[in-house]
Amino acid sequence: MFKKLKYRFILTNIAMLSVVLLFSFTVVYLITGYQIQKQNLLKLENIHSTTLRYQEANERNDSFQIVGTNQEYADAFGVIVDEHNQSVFDSSFGVLSKEWIDKAVEQTDGRKEGEIELEGRRFLFSRIPAYVKVESASKDVSIEQFSQIAFLDITASRQSLLELLAAFIVVGILTLLAMLWISTMFAKRAVAPIEQSYRKQKRFVQDASHELKTPLASICANLEVLQANRQETIQSQGKWLDHISHETKRMSKLVTELLELARADQTEQAIKLEPICLSNLLERILLSVETTLYEKGIALQQQIEEDISVNGNLDKVEQVIQILLDNAHKYTNTGGTIEVSLRRQRKYVILEVSNTGEGITPEHIDKIFDRFYRADESRKNNGSYGLGLPIAKALTEQMGASLSVFSMPYQKTTFRISWKLI
C-alpha cells in the first residue's frame, strides 16, 4: 500500500515536471525557430533587392568589386530566370558554377518558396517577379517579365536548431533524473509518518482485540462451568460468578480507557480551558491517596508552592495527576518513596511525580507512551493495560502542556508536566 503511495507521489511529480519542461522547451524552441525564420526572410528580401541592383548595373556595363568572401556569395545569392526557368543572371559573380546554379533552380520546380537540398546543404528560396530590359537585334529595348529566385544557405541555422533540441533533450533527461531522486527522497520522508501512524494504529487494534479476547475467553469458560452445573445453587457456584464479575470489570475498565483515549485523539474538539489553582488541587489529591500509600509502606514526600495556577480543564488535570500517581504506586516497592513537587521555573509551572524502584531502561523509555506498551510484561495481570500514560500524554498536550519522562535505572523515575505560567 505504501509502496503504491510512494510510486504515485513520484509519478505525479515526474508527470508535472515533464509537462512544465515540455511546455517551456517547446515555447523556447518555437520562439527561437520563429526568430531565425524571420531573420532568414529578411535576408531573402535583401538578396532580392541586391540581385536587381547587380542586374541593372550589369546592363549598364558597370564594373563590379566583390566585397566579402567567396563563401558569403555562395551562401546567399540570387538568380534571374526566364519563362523557361533558365538562368539569365546570378549574383554569385562566378563563385558558383552555372551547372550548380541550374541544379538549384531546377529543384525549385516553379514553386514560389520552400526549401531545397543540394550537395548536403540546405537552402531556403523565394521566387518573385522580375522585370528585365532586353535589347533586340533592331536595338529596340523591351521589358520582359522574368522571375527572380533568392537562395539562402540555412544549413547552419538548421544545425543550430537541432543542437538546441538536443540540448533540451539532455537537460530534460538530467532534470527528470534529478527530480526522480529528489522525489524518491521526499516520498520516503512524506510517507514515513503516515506509515508509522498506520503501523501504530494496526498494532493498537491488534492489542485491543487481544486484551478484550482474554477476559471474554475467561467469562465464556466460567459460563460453561455454570451451564454444566445447572442444578447447583448460586451460593455453591460463587467462585465462578466472582471470576465472571472480575473479568467483566476488567473489560469495562479497558473499554472506558479506550473510549477516553479516542476522545483525547479528537483534537478538533478543543477542551475548554480555565484558570485552575493547581496547588490546591494537588494537595487534595495527595490527601486522598496518602492512606493507600501508607498501607503499602510507601513514603510520600511533597514540595508544593502555594497559589500556583494554570490554564486547563479541572477534570482532565485531575485525571492526569491520578494516572501519574497510580503509575508511581504500581512501580514502587514496599519501603520506597514517591516524591511530588510543584514549582515555578521562569515562565513555566513544573509538576513532577517521582518514584523509587527499578526505573526504566533506555531501550524502553522512548516507548513508554506507546499504547498497550508495558516495559515489564510480568506486570501484565496487575490491572494495567498500558493505556494510562498514553491517555495522560494526550490529555496534557490537548491542554497545551507537555509530558516527559526521565529515569535512572534501579534508582528513580520522574514524570514531568510543564505548563506556561499565567
pTM for this predicted structure: 0.51
- Asked if the model's pLDDT at residue 109 lies above 80, the reply is yes
Do the Cβ atoms of 221 and 244 come closer than 8 Å? no
- Asked if the model's pLDDT at residue 421 lies above 90, the reply is no
**Which residues are CB-neighbours of 250 under 8 A, at least 6 positions away?**
215, 383
Grid coordinates standing for 109?
A: 520546380
Do the Cβ atoms of 285 and 325 come closer than 8 Å? yes
Comparison of pLDDT for 347 and 67, the residue scoring more? 347
- Quick check: helix, strand or coil at residue 417? strand
- Asked if the model's pLDDT at residue 269 lies above 70, the reply is no
**Which residues are CB-neighbours of 150 under 8 A, at least 6 positions away?**
44, 45, 47, 48, 51, 76, 77, 78, 125, 126, 128
- From the number of C-beta atoms within 10 Å of its C-beta (0-12, 13-18, 19+), residue 180 rates as middle
205 to 80, 208, 340, 377: CA distances (angstroms): 91, 5, 35, 19
As a whole number, mean pLDDT of residues 248-264 equals: 74
Compute CA 118 distance to the chain's CA centroid, rounded to the nearest angstrom: 54
Positive or negative: CA dihedral 339, 340, 344, 347:
positive
Helices (H) and strands (E) in the chain, counts: 9, 12
For residue 187, give the DSSP letter.
H
45-49, 130-134, 311-315, 351-355: the lowest-pLDDT one? 130-134
As a whole-number percent, the residues of the chain with pLDDT over 70 amount to 85
